[in-house]
Amino acid sequence: MSFSWSRVGAIVQKELRDYRRNRFVVLTMVFLPLVFIVAPVIQLFAIKVQITSAKLDDRIGLSLLYLLILPAIVPSVLSAYSVVGEREQGTLEPLLTTPIRSAELLVGKALAAFLPTLAVAYVIFGIFLGAVAAFAHHAVVSATFERDHLLVQLLFTPLVAGWSIWAGIAISTRMSDVRAAQQLTVVASLPPVAIVALVNFNVITASIGLALGLAGALLLVDGMAWRLVAAMFDRERLVTGRQGGPTRRA
Amino acid sequence: MTSDPDAHRGRPGRGRPGRDGATPGPALVVEHLTKHFGGRVAYEDVSFEVGYGEVFGFLGPNGAGKTTTVRTLGTLIAPTSGSATIAGIPLTAESGAAIRERIAIMPESPGLYLRLTVAENLECFARLYELRDVRDRIDRVLRAVNLGDRAKDVCGSLSKGLRQRVALARALLSDPEVLFLDEPTSGLDPVATRDVHDLLTVLRERGVTIFLTTHRLEEAERLCHRVAILNTTLRLVGRPDELREQLFSRNLDVRTRAPLDEPGRVFDGLANVDGWERSPSGSYVLNVTDPDAAAPVVVRALVAADADVLSIAESHHSLEDVYLKLVDEDVEAAKR
């Protein structure tokens, strides 16, 4: 039996339907982005005309960093819930008794967190750019729309989200309490943001090559995280709370 | 129980070919299956077979290992030792997904997505089994559990009994070769229990292979072709009437208008009567080898003793008597 995208699709569809009707998820998806867009927009609008170029870069870097926290935080709420939430609801056991393979279940769960996160993060970034273009000083506009800034933002948004999702799912498979899983996942989501911060604040000199290199490294880490989480996925442990035996990955 | 290692294995009453029609054989073969959680024994040295089309009851007290056995056969838990073949596929580290394609398990808790509708819950599982004609199948299984008009209801709005029926519909979606039902009537009121029993009776008549774990003994007696009694180890396997005969002698229950003056003179030495005792209710319980042969002899003796006979009938031990006798024996053994 090979990897089935049809089964992955079933999980994604089920998750998205469930999110849509879950008030906590909807509120998180709506209000958290609003919080994260207000600060960077105010930051840029408050910039005075006579600001130095270095300070302008710092301010823009800080604003864009705010926006990159979004793809780290939003999926952490969803991914941390993904396995332990099912366990708490009593829906995990029926799900695990279907022919779905661990890798399919995990990819389905990850995609279901990834797609809305990406949509929200890019929409918020678009709104941010629109607001800057419409209302900010032209020096701020041209600095914000610099190719390197856009590239970092577009490239790192999915990669940061990917890290956050795999960290969340890994934690979710090991925890027995949803809240504890969500708190741990938020903390575990932040390391990639720190790297991006170094780039945005020019601690690491930004260049296309560096951005691509870091993005490639993060992509590799995301891929390895998936394999690691799939290997750690233990049906017996999830069902009984005890370590499983040799058939656990079947 | 006998020392023959195969004596308690329990052979199925009948068999029929598997799904491909080419490999006749039992639906389930379990051989010396054992599961330990660290130092704790969940179940040990369990062996039995279940034939296609059979309803097999798996009985035992709480903590006897019933659910753990189902989870093992459902590939959720790895056995510590022993082997099993489920729907023709040996249980190995690699065969889990293939086995799960051929079986369905309804756990004790329905485990429905409460924010999704009945149809959406079933659609998700139909897609996980990669079934064709999903809509038709959903309609069919909902009609089978008498929920044809509830497809658009959100599961969170359903009563416990209705949720149980949705879970049963979900288990039927893939036309499983073996259907595992873990305490399907646990926590249900009598009406909902009766509904589930009626559904299981229909499934039994359709020839669905069902592995039913329960501690409702009347449920097992009514629905199952054979039962196994587990109390960490497998105590007995057989048809309910076989188990009764195995554990209890056959009895005649004699009721008279007034107590007999000298019952020993009436009953001792009668043909086919091995012994007698007075029951707490005042009737006389006679151990007999053949009730049909013994009854006329006993009636004649009573008439000769000038007794007013109210009734004479064979007394039947229930499956509950069998179960309680075995469990009591285990408790006594543990005390010793």
> What ipTM does this complex have?
0.84
The 10s digit of each residue's pLDDT in B310-335 is: 999 887 777 777 777 777 777 777 77
Burial B104-135 (b: 16+ CB within 10 A, else e): bbbbbbbbbbbbbbbbbbbbbbbbbbbbeebe
At residue B17 the predicted structure's pLDDT band, cuts being 50, 70 and 90, is very low
Question: What pLDDT sits at residue B106?
Answer: 93
Across the interface, of B74, B115, B130, the residue whose CB is closest to A97 is B74
Rounded percentage of chain B residues whose pLDDT exceeds 90: 50
Q: Confirm whether A172 is domain-assigned.
A: yes
Phi, psi (rounded to 5 degrees) for B123: -60, -40
* Cβ neighbours of B32 (radius 10 Å): 15
List A36's β-bridge partners, or say none. none
What is the per-residue pLDDT for A40? 78
C-alpha B153/C-alpha B135 separation (Å) is 16
CB contact under 8 A, A17 and B125: no
Residue A60, pLDDT score: 79
* pLDDT on residue B90: 95
CB contact under 8 A, A91 and B79: no
- Sheet-wide strand order for B309-315: B273-278, B284-288, B250-256, B309-315
CB contacts, 8 Å: A2 with chain B: none
pLDDT per residue as tens digits for the range B194-238: 888 888 888 888 888 999 998 788 888 888 999 999 988 998 898
> Average per-residue pLDDT in chain B?
86
pLDDT band per the 50, 70, 90 thresholds, residue B9: very low
Tell me, what's the pLDDT at B236? 86
Q: Which residue in B97, B106, B113 is closest to A91 by CB distance?
A: B113
Q: Can you give the residue range of the structural domain that contains A150? A: 5-240
- Residue B44's pLDDT is what? 94
**B55-59 and B210-214 beta bridge pairing:** parallel
Q: What is the pLDDT of residue B114?
A: 96
CB B240 within 8 A of CB B227: yes
- Enumerate domains of chain B plus CATH numbers: 5-239 (3.40.50.300), 249-316 (3.30.70.100)
Q: Is residue A246 part of a domain?
A: no
For position A200, what pLDDT does the model report?
A: 62
**In-domain check, residue A247:** no
A77 vs B300 pLDDT, higher one: B300
Distance of residue B163 Cα from the nearest chain A Cα, in angstroms: 13
Q: For residue A205, is it within any domain?
A: yes
> How far is A119 from chain B, CA to nearest CA, in Å?
23
**SS3 at position B232:** coil
How far apart CA A240 and CA B100 sit, in angstroms, is 18
Low-confidence ranges of chain A (pLDDT < 70): 1, 49, 196, 199-202, 204-208, 211, 243-250
Burial of residue B59 (CB within 10 Å: 0-12, 13-18, 19+) is buried
Q: pLDDT per residue over A72-82, tens digit each?
A: 888 888 898 88
Name the residue with higher pLDDT: B176 or A249. Answer: B176
Test mutation, A2, A7, A98, chain B, max B CBs within 10 A: A98
Q: Report which of A60, A72, A34, A233 is spatially closest to residue A161, judged by C-alpha positions.
A: A72
Nearest to A245 among B80, B116, B124 (CB): B80
Q: Note whether B212 and B227 are within 8 A (CB).
A: no
Q: Is the pLDDT of residue B36 over 80?
A: yes
A241 at the B interface (CB within 8 A)?
Answer: no
The residue of chain B with its CA nearest to that of A21 is B115
Helices (H), chain B: 66-73, 96-102, 118-128, 134-144, 160-172, 190-206, 217-223, 240-247, 263-267, 291-304, 319-335
Interface probe for A, chosen from B43, B113, B154 (most Cβ of A below 10 Å), is: B113
Is residue A140 in a domain?
yes
Is residue A110 assigned to a domain? yes
Least confidently predicted of A7-11, B8-12, B259-263: B8-12
Three-state helix/strand/coil letters over B274-327: EEEEECCCCCEEEEECCHHHHHHHHHHHHHHCCCCEEEEEEECCCHHHHHHHHH
Contact A74, A217 (CB under 8 A): no
- Per-residue tokens: B295: 């009854």
Widest pairwise Cα distance in chain B: 76
Q: How many CA atoms lie within 13 A of A112 on its CB side?
A: 30
Judged by phi (left if over 0) then psi (alpha if -120 to 50, else beta), residue B133 lies in left
* A90 closest CB neighbour out of B100, B104, B111: B111
Beta bridge partners of B231: B233
pLDDT tens per residue across span B135-157: 999 999 999 888 889 999 999 99
Kindly give the interhelix angle for A178-189 and A147-174, rounded to the nearest 10 degrees. 150
User: Which position has the higher pLDDT, B187 or B12?
Assistant: B187
Distance CA A119, CA A30 (A): 12
Is A37 part of a structural domain of the chain?
Answer: yes
Tally of domains within chain A: 1
